[in-house]
Structure 1
Amino acid sequence: MHFGLSEEQEMIVSTVRSFVENEIYPHEAEVERTGQVPHELGMEIKQKCLDLGFYACNFPEEVGGAGLSHMDFTLVERELGRGSMALTHFFGRPQNILMACEGEQREKYLLPAVRGEKMDALAMTEPDAGSDVRGMKCQAVRDGGDWVVNGSKHFISGAEHADFFIVFVATGIDETPRGPKKRITCFLVDRGHPGFDVREGYNSVSHKGYKNYILTFDDCRLLDAQVLGEVDGGFAVMNEWLYATRLTVAAFCVGRARRCFDLAVQYAAERKQFGQPIAKFQGISFQVADMITEIDAADWLTLSGAWRLDQNLPANREIASAKLYASEMLARVTDTTLQIFGGMGLMDDFPIERFWRDARVERIWDGTSEIQRHIISRDLFRPLGA
């Protein structure tokens, strides 16, 4: 692994950071205040991303994407992490699981998503099935040549803007020596499809404006043509395309932590107590030293995971380590930054309290810290038969 960035990678970092600073930062306070992203603003950001040539940059050139490597795309996500998630959502990165589309699905879903003509949303989580994916109760049963789906999903991000949904549903049960296991199938479902409803979900204190939605299926009939991948092959699709999304969470956390760190250092250098900048006090300077050490460590863990993917090396454990460490690092960095700002850190005159609140969810979604520790330990002990 080379530790320096290429000239092209430096350009990617510079371009995306400039975009975030100029197109995202100016609107963050208003989105935080209202909890909304005006439709016109979202479409404006989306168009500027298209004009920049970065829309769907996580897709290969053969389908119209920018063809970035895992490392390049991780750098993009790291810089986007500096900005409001509600706004950077429109810096389009469709779910790369859409590469599993075949036949007419490519023209109906994949290519329009890459071109920015349609937006997607991923739906797995249920009220009783978060980390336990096989515990999902939303199910599809055969009825003639159709599938009839009943149940619900919740915590679905990006649903308000989605033209179609990538939904994982239970489609049967296998009896195994370790007990029954549900078979999972992935479906592509259009907004407005009969029997399918999308409604606003819960009011979260993290990432205002980046809303979560509830999906409900009431005798919703789907065709085999709407199956993404193979029937009962949902886990295969998941394992091939989705597990690297944890890497994007890690990258986001690194980017957000660096923005927070920059604010902390600037404030500590300017804020005076007892006649000198508070940066002169070891109580502050040592905390700053710990912060940058942790940020750099999380950054290299994350880039290492991306590098392994590009080398076609096993990366499951490394990505889990990056997601675990980076998300917990962000919690410590935002908390320390707030402490350095003192009482002002809790005031909405500064974005610190927002970063502090936003950081909390990173240890939960895309696999909790406990799930990441399970993945890491399983990877270590399984070869030993334990």
Structure 2
Amino acid sequence: MSQQGDAGAAEAPGLSFGLSPEQTMIVDTVRSFVENEIYPHEAEVERTGTVPPALAEAIRQKTLELGFYACNFPEEVGGAGLGHLDFALVERELGRGSMALTHFFGRPQNILMACTGEQRERYLLPAVRGERMDALAMTEPDAGSDVRGMKCSAVRDGGDWVVNGTKHFISGAEHADFFIVFVATGVDETPKGPKKRITCFLVDRGHPGFAVREGYRSVSHRGYKNCILSFDDCRLPDAQVLGAVDGGFAVMNEWLYATRITVAAMAVGRARRCFDYAVSYAAERRQFGQQIARFQGVSFQVADMITEIDAADWLTLAAAWRLDQGLPANREIASAKVYASEMLARVTDATLQIHGGMGLMDDFPIERFWRDARVERIWDGTSEIQRHIIGRELFRPLGA
């Protein structure tokens, strides 16, 4: 581990801030993988906006050989059985690399653990073995953070469901063999007005009435594309329902809300890589006859950066630890996500400033880190949504 703020060895009775030997092995192994298998290909992916299929397959195969593919799944289904804290350490190290490439490190959606019967053989187990890739589809053009505002809907027709509508901003869809799709399947009248019921479906690529097309060009995470999904009288049997009919929120709340820890952890990893560039450049670059690190205007920026990175790191690991202990963690996860994603924006901006004009040139990856950082405050729940969750969790016990 680097000396710039990785989990250290300070301990107090009943409270440990160090990593176990097993956790240290996880960090070292994944970091080495990212440095040796991901870094060398980043510039080309950034230039072309695509990941060559042969490279994607090589990354997937090497991850399988390491025993880290689907490491977020329990051993009983073939995963590595990592807990939330250990998996946060994995994501933190993967955050150092290009998302377009680390995508093939293989972390299927945990929601697949809701599979039953034949679904386990068709979707869960092949995903864990790296034979099939999944993509999660919730967001719509008119329903982003407002999940209950979904217009993509399914209605009963005989023994099937007929799905119509559109999803967009679907990450990893160009590589997915099947999709985990949330759609509206009814409406309940409540004192607060109509409330849509949501159901989760498993949909195979190429299914009649279902199409995947290229999405929008994004300035963030080039090569990690988003796609648009279209449903046109797409007929799905009950066998494709994941969880219970109208039970979409139940499986969502059980399996998906912790994904915000992933965003926080990856933001910390990316910030640490960016910070290393800032420190190295400030120590080497000379102005007015001395290293710019000697200027208070630079050294104070660096001091603030590492303080914020460490704070975000501990917020994230503490939230993951609470999940492992079976403790309520909704507020802590939201705090980690909002703070880490906003910290990353400040760190990348300060690093660019320290590099001056060179920071905007593609000779350095700084401008890429700067661009990539922007989306972290939007996906998996915007900063505004996270603050709403924090406030709600604080005031709800008081009846406010």
Match of 1:48 among 56, 62, 81: 62
Following TM superposition, by how much is the alpha carbon of 1:2 offset from its aligned partner in structure 2, in angstroms?
2.3
1:261 alignment counterpart:
275
Match of 2:364 among 350, 371, 382: 350
1:303 alignment counterpart:
317
Q: Does 1:183 align with 2:197?
A: yes
| Other structure's SS at 1:79 match | helix
Q: Distance in 2 between matches of 1:124 and 1:81?
A: 23
Query: How well do the aligned residues superpose, as a CA RMSD in angstroms?
Result: 0.4
Match of 2:243 among 204, 209, 229: 229
Q: Distance in 2 between matches of 1:247 and 1:70?
A: 9
Match of 2:296 among 282, 288, 293: 282
Q: Distance in 2 between matches of 1:65 and 1:83?
A: 23
Provide Cα deviations, 1:301-328, integer angstroms capped at 9, x if missing partner: 0000000000000000000000000000
1:82 alignment counterpart:
96
Give the TM-score, by structure 2 length. Answer: 0.96
Following TM superposition, by how much is the alpha carbon of 1:3 offset from its aligned partner in structure 2, in angstroms?
1.0
Q: Does 1:373 align with 2:387?
A: yes
Q: Distance in 2 between matches of 1:62 and 1:330?
A: 36
Give aligned pairs, total.
386
Q: Distance in 1 between matches of 2:332 and 2:362?
A: 36
| Other structure's SS at 1:264 match | helix
Provide Cα deviations, 1:122-161, integer angstroms capped at 9, x if missing partner: 0000000000000000000000000000000000000010
5+ residue gaps, structure 1, are none
2:5 alignment counterpart:
none
Provide Cα deviations, 1:202-239, integer angstroms capped at 9, x if missing partner: 00000000000000000000000000000000000000
Q: Does 1:21 align with 2:43?
A: no
Q: Distance in 2 between matches of 1:17 and 1:318?
A: 26
1:99 alignment counterpart:
113
2:188 alignment counterpart:
174
Match of 1:113 among 127, 131, 141: 127
Q: Does 1:294 align with 2:308?
A: yes
Give the TM-score, by structure 1 length. Answer: 1.00
Letter of the aligned partner of 2:185 in structure 1?
A: T
Letter of the aligned partner of 1:166 in structure 2?
A: I
| Other structure's SS at 2:108 match | coil
2:258 alignment counterpart:
244
5+ residue gaps, structure 2, are 1-14
Letter of the aligned partner of 1:221 in structure 2?
A: R
Letter of the aligned partner of 2:211 in structure 1?
A: D
2:143 alignment counterpart:
129
Q: Does 1:197 align with 2:211?
A: yes
Q: Does 1:149 align with 2:183?
A: no
